[in-house]
Amino acid sequence: MTTGMDGHRHKGTGSMRRRTTMMIPIALIAASPAVAQTGAASPAPSPAAVDDTDDLRRTLAAERRELDRQQRALDDQRARIDRLEARLSGGSAVADARTTLAPGGVPLPASPPPAPPVAVAATPSPAGASPGVPVQTVGEAPSDQRQVQVAVLSEQGGIITKAGRATVELNLEYARADRNQVVFRGVQIPEAVLIGVFDINESRQDVLTAGLVGRLGLTSRLEINGRLPLVHRSDKSVLAPVANPGQPNAGQIDSPVSGTNIGDVDFGVRYQITDGRGGAPYLIAGVQAVAPTGTDPFRVRRDTLGNALKGATGAGFWGVTPNLTAILPTDPAVLFATLGYTLNVARDIDRRIGAAFVERVAPGDQPSASAGIAIALNPRTSISFGYAQTWALGTKTWVRALDQTTQVPGEVMTTTSRDLQIGRLLFGVSYRTTPTTTINWNVEVGATDDASDVRTTLRIPFTFDAF
């Protein structure tokens, strides 16, 4: 019993000890909240980690200060460049507006200022990079749109050439005109019954012109210009009077003629009125004059019927054209329009032509207008579209009919030709090869019966400093 009891007591004592051992830590934890809080907190960071974070922050701050310093330097340099451009252009507001003004071309709107560099938040250094240096994304510099040359249509006046700058332009032009007319003289009865004489008149004209153009900027707002053309003209006309249906070609007259000589020289002056500030258009006024230096159409050799035996290369009259051009940049396009009025000066002819004695000829005046748009495709290429309309008033002629027997002139008669409506669709392409040279190709397509069928021009200007 004793042994058994001892053994039982021993066993019970062991159980009591185990329970006591488990209860003591729980009581200690419950009794000591400081110990519980200590056990739940994160381990303290090491001194090395704290040093790395401080280094990254200091590096980022240094990089930002360096970017700010570089931006200030760029701004100062841009201001110096603007001041130098203003001095070169005589203080022109065009330079202040940062607008490219191609010699003889149309201006582009000012390019947007370059975006300031954006600091990118520091990210962990990639493998192989130096520790503590943040990774930044460098932006691509925007293309300078001010370098774009806009295509210039052949009859559009551009911005004024800068003071001291000169432009020499070589151009080559080809024009083609076909005319087919059927003239009926007689009596017309309804239901298409015609009694009389038909004249079928067909004419073809090809004109090839090589020109040398010069422009010089006297001041930042005043420019002079001139053009010397060399003209080759080839005309072919066929007059087929159909008097006998059995012989449809009876009496046909085929008269081709040609001529090569200097054409009519033109020169003028242009003045820029406004500088395009505040979104207003550039306004440029000008006066162009045409001198009759080409072959006079009233002085060429003719046969007894009055048909010319040589092609004339000039109009034979002085002409003066005041005009006004408006140019409005609207990024990325440029709108332009021109109004003009040509005053032709009458002159005495006093020459026999065929069976008539021509005393005086007064060509009609010519009001004109044109408008279009130029669009920059990229920093080198641009295209232009437009329309031009010219209203040529009738020409007034004083003539005397010659007596067939005595050749004595009769009474003076006055005749006036019909007005001409000359409408043309315009298209141009420009490609800039160098900062001082641009290739321009222009095409005009006749939109009315009185206009030439097609005219195309290749122009290559070269710009340099004259003084």
Tell me, yes or no, if the pTM score tops 0.75.
no
The region, left, alpha or beta by phi > 0 then psi within -120 to 50, assigned to residue 186 is left
pLDDT at 91: 42
Where does residue 196 fall: left (phi above 0), alpha (psi -120 to 50 degrees), or beta otherwise? left
Would 240 be classed as within a structural domain? no
> For residue 237, what pLDDT is reported?
79
Across the beta sheet with 396-402, the strand order is 347-353, 356-362, 396-402, 409-416
Does residue 9 form part of some domain?
yes
Domain tally for the chain?
2
Asked if the structure places residue 57 within a domain, the reply is no
Q: Which regions of the chain are under pLDDT 50?
A: 1-42, 91-152, 183-198, 243, 245, 250
Residue 89 has a pLDDT of 58
Given this model, what pLDDT does residue 361 score?
A: 94
Burial 377-403 (b: 16+ CB within 10 A, else e): eeeebbebebebbbbbbebebbbbebe
Give the Cα separation of 397 and 295 in Å (integer). 20
Which tokens is 414 given?
């006055």
In a domain, 184, yes or no: no
Contact 436, 450 (CB under 8 A): no
Amino acid at 200: I
What is the per-residue pLDDT for 291? Answer: 97
Whole-number Cα distances in Å, 96 to 72, 79, 81, 100, 387: 20, 10, 10, 11, 32
Radius of gyration of the chain, Cα coordinates, nearest whole angstrom: 44
Other beta carbons within 10 angstroms of residue 227's beta carbon come to 19
> Domain limits at 459?
147-175+207-233+257-465
Task: Check residue 138 and give its pLDDT.
Answer: 42
What pLDDT shows up at residue 423?
A: 96
Domain-located, residue 249: no
Non-local (6+) Cβ contacts of 431 within 8 A are: 380, 381, 438, 439
Residue whose structure tokens are 């043309």: 424
pLDDT at 198: 47
CA–CA separation, 234 and 209 (whole Å): 12
Residue 18 falls within a domain, yes or no?
yes
Residue 239: in which H helix or E strand, if any?
Answer: strand 222-242
The 10s digit of each residue's pLDDT in 436-453 is 888 999 999 999 999 999
Residue 186 is assigned to a structural domain of this protein? no
Same structural domain for residues 440 and 321? yes
Q: Is 76 contained in some domain?
A: no
Residues 285 and 403 in one domain: yes
**In terms of domains, do 267 and 399 share one?**
yes
**Exposure of 407 in the CB half-sphere (CA atoms within 13 A):** 4
The two three-digit tokens of residue 32, written as one number: 């000591």
Tell me the C-alpha distance between 447 and 467, whole Å. Answer: 44
What are the tokens at 451? 């206009």
CATH number for the domain spanning 317: value is 2.40.160.40
